[in-house]
């Protein structure tokens, strides 16, 4: 139980001696790094590994499960994503804000109560649908939803509470351990259940729930040491009502914002489910899972660090320096690898996942650009919360969800071509993400020149990689040689971006002194 705290003290630069009496080399290196970089590396190490686990296991999943099974599972996950904001009504985001521990504890109690109530209401609603639904599809999918939604919402509410308390107490190592455990147990459970019970959407759902249970298990020290003692000391029904009113902007603005954010991401699955086959939905689900994985993991860590540092100090000049650094260096560090997907996704998917998943490769190539832009900007989402401008973020997200869903539906309805519909959705997504980033910079009172520099960095990186690939293709080089050339160029650009970021962050730390 003491392990997370021991790791936390190490991550913060405390001295730890080896049995021979020498200080650990890791600690000596850690002491030389700025605090913000050390915190980032702590979360980054866990989230990177959490990416690797499902990425490595994906070829096994696609060979154990049929596209139709993956499609049914994707539909359930899409519905879960739409109802996920009711888990805590987004009150969990407010746990970070109050200086007073008692107020933060009352927000915690409110989150847990809302989560339990939402789970019960969803269970009753799904049982009713299952009994009243006359269609075969309704009676088939309702049990899947009844398994996933109530349990998922209940587990998610506990996770969100523990996650925000770990951020509040700066216990970053437990965050890394949690996401690694969730990824490992989810994938391991799906593979084991799939091998033992056969290809079924039910085994995929059960594996996902097992991952949530593992995640909460890792958070148990945080719950036991920080959440439970404070709940015993400060719990008050009247206090819950008070904080519910005080932070009403979170369910009124941030909650719908999260819903529309999920709707924008999940709407394609729902449109494909309505107008195409489960096989096509499964193909898209695999492509989306692979190509948007950095958004769900890598940049989620950056978002948490940014929020924990900016919640009370957004006007600190160092924050502008940090934002500019991320927007300039980010496209160089990760952008070239997204372009690799654009250029070579289809043959790669067919070779890695199997011949029946070639369509997923085409979808991944189309989705790579919006995934890149979202990965590099999503960490700015907390600016709207900190400035109290949730109304603007809600308007932007709602507009995107409606326009994106409508454009995808119309394109698919008219053309009957899923590839074209995804292209339309991707174009709308990129335009929205750029507009959203500029609005976030304005709300944060940062210079709009940062947005221009971000776009210029992406354009320059894209032109360089594209020209290199085109030159290789023009010279008649085979695909493996072109891939090797682009990978080498990507590594060079990434190294340059890391050097730029490290230099700017060291300069920021020197200014702080």
DSSP class of 446 = -
CA distance 96 to 103: 10
**Per-residue pLDDT tens for 357-390?**
989 999 999 999 999 999 889 888 888 878 878 7
pLDDT of residue 45: 61
pLDDT of residue 5: 37
pLDDT of residue 132: 67
pLDDT of residue 308: 66
Structure tokens at 296: 């769900």
Tokens 């989230």 belong to residue = 47
CA angle 324, 330, 333 (to 5 degrees): 145
Q: How far apart are the first and last CA of the chain?
A: 36
pLDDT of residue 382: 80
Query: What are the φ and ψ backbone dihedral angles of 63, each rounded to 5 degrees?
Result: -95, -20
Query: What are the φ and ψ backbone dihedral angles of 17, each rounded to 5 degrees?
Result: -100, 140
pLDDT of residue 456: 94
Q: What is the DSSP string of 7-24?
A: HHHHHTT---B-TTSPBP
Its pTM surpasses 0.85: no
Could you list the pLDDT tens digit for every one of the 513 residues in the chain?
Answer: 333 333 333 333 333 333 444 434 334 444 455 555 555 555 556 666 667 777 778 888 888 898 889 998 999 999 898 899 889 999 998 998 888 888 999 999 999 999 999 999 998 888 887 776 555 455 567 778 888 899 999 999 999 999 999 888 877 788 778 888 888 899 999 999 888 888 888 999 999 999 999 999 999 999 999 899 999 888 888 889 999 999 998 898 778 878 887 888 788 999 998 899 889 999 999 998 888 866 655 665 666 667 766 766 777 777 888 888 889 998 999 899 999 999 999 888 888 888 889 899 999 999 999 999 998 898 888 888 788 787 788 888 889 999 999 999 999 999 999 999 999 999 999 999 999 999 999 998 899 999 999 999 999 999 999 999 999 889 888 888 998 999 999 999 999 998 988 887 777 666 655
- How many angstroms separate the Cα of 146 from the Cα of each of 80, 90, 259? 11, 23, 20
Tell me, rounded to whole angstroms, the distance of Cα 2 from its chain centroid: 28
| Of the candidates 190, 205, 183, 188, the residue with the CA atom closest to the CA atom of residue 75 | 205
CA distance 312 to 315: 8
Q: Which residues neighbour 502 within 8 Å (Cβ) at sequence distance 6 or greater?
A: 37
Tokens 């308390």 belong to residue = 165
Structure tokens at 229: 């003692």
pLDDT of residue 29: 41
Query: What are the φ and ψ backbone dihedral angles of 23, each rounded to 5 degrees?
Result: -70, 140
pLDDT of residue 37: 52
| Of the candidates 370, 49, 307, 377, the residue with the CA atom closest to the CA atom of residue 187 | 49
Structure tokens at 79: 């519905």
Domain ranges of the chain: 1-7+33-247, 260-513
| Of the candidates 272, 366, 360, 329, the residue with the CA atom closest to the CA atom of residue 502 | 329
- Collapsing DSSP states into helix, strand and coil, what is residue 475? coil
DSSP class of 380 = G
Helical residues (DSSP H) of 169-247, grouped into ranges: 172-197, 201-222, 228-234, 237-246
Q: Checking phi first, is residue 463 left (phi over 0); if not, alpha (psi -120 to 50) or beta?
A: alpha
Query: What are the φ and ψ backbone dihedral angles of 18, each rounded to 5 degrees?
Result: -80, 170
pLDDT of residue 299: 61
Contact (Cβ atoms closer than 8 angstroms) between residue 466 and residue 339: yes
Tokens 């003491």 belong to residue = 2
pLDDT of residue 136: 46
**Per-residue pLDDT tens for 303-360?**
666 776 676 677 777 788 888 888 999 899 989 999 999 999 988 888 888 888 989 9
pLDDT of residue 119: 93
């Amino acid at each position: 139980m003491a392990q997370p705290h021991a790791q936390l003290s190490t991550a913060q630069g405390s001295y730890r001696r080896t049995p021979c009496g020498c200080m650990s080399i890791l600690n000596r290196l850690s002491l030389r790094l700025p605090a913000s970089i050390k915190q980032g590396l702590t979360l980054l190490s866990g989230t990177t590994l959490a990416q690797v686990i499902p990425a490595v296991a994906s070829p096994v999943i696609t060979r154990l499960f049929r596209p139709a099974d993956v499609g049914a599972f994707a539909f359930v996950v899409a519905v879960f994503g739409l109802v996920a904001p009711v888990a805590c009504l987004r009150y969990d985001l407010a746990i970070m804000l109050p200086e007073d521990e008692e107020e933060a504890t009352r927000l915690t109690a409110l989150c847990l109560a809302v989560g339990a109530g939402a789970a019960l209401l969803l269970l009753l609603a799904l049982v009713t649908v299952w009994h009243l639904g006359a269609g075969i599809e309704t009676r088939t999918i309702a049990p899947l939803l009844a398994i996933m939604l109530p349990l998922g919402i209940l587990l998610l509410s506990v996770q969100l509470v523990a996650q925000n308390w770990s951020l509040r107490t700066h216990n970053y190592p437990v965050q890394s351990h949690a996401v690694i455990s969730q990824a490992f147990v989810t994938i391991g459970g799906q593979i084991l259940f799939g091998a033992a019970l056969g290809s079924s959407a039910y085994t995929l759902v059960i594996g996902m729930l097992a991952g949530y249970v593992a995640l909460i298990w890792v958070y148990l020290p945080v719950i036991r040491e920080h959440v439970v003692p404070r709940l015993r000391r400060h719990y008050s029904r009247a206090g819950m009502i008070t904080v519910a009113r005080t932070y009403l902007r979170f369910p009124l603005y941030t909650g719908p914002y999260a819903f529309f954010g999920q709707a924008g991401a999940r709407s394609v699955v729902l449109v494909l489910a309505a107008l195409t086959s489960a096989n096509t939905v499964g193909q898209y689900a695999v492509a989306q899972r692979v190509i948007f994985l950095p958004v769900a993991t890598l940049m989620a860590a950056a978002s948490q660090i940014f929020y924990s540092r900016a919640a009370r100090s957004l006007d600190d000049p160092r924050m502008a320096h940090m934002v500019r650094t991320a927007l300039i260096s980010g496209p160089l560090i990760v952008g070239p690898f997204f372009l690799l997907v654009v250029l070579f996704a289809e043959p790669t998917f067919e070779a890695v996942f199997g011949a029946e998943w070639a369509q997923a490769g085409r979808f991944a190539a189309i989705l790579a650009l919006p995934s890149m832009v979202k990965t590099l900007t999503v960490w700015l989402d907390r600016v709207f919360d900190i400035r109290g401008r949730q109304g603007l973020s809600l308007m932007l997200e709602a507009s995107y969800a409606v326009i994106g869903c409508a454009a995808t539906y119309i394109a698919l309805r008219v053309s009957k071509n899923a590839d074209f519909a995804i292209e339309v959705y991707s174009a709308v997504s990129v335009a929205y993400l750029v507009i959203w980033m500029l609005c976030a910079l304005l709300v944060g009172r940062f210079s709009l020149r940062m947005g221009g520099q971000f776009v210029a960095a992406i354009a320059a990186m894209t032109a360089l990689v594209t020209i290199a690939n085109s030159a290789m293709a023009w010279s008649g080089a085979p695909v493996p040689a072109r891939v090797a050339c682009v990978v080498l160029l990507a590594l060079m650009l990434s190294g340059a971006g890391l050097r730029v970021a490290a230099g700017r962050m060291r300069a920021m730390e020197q200014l702080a002194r």
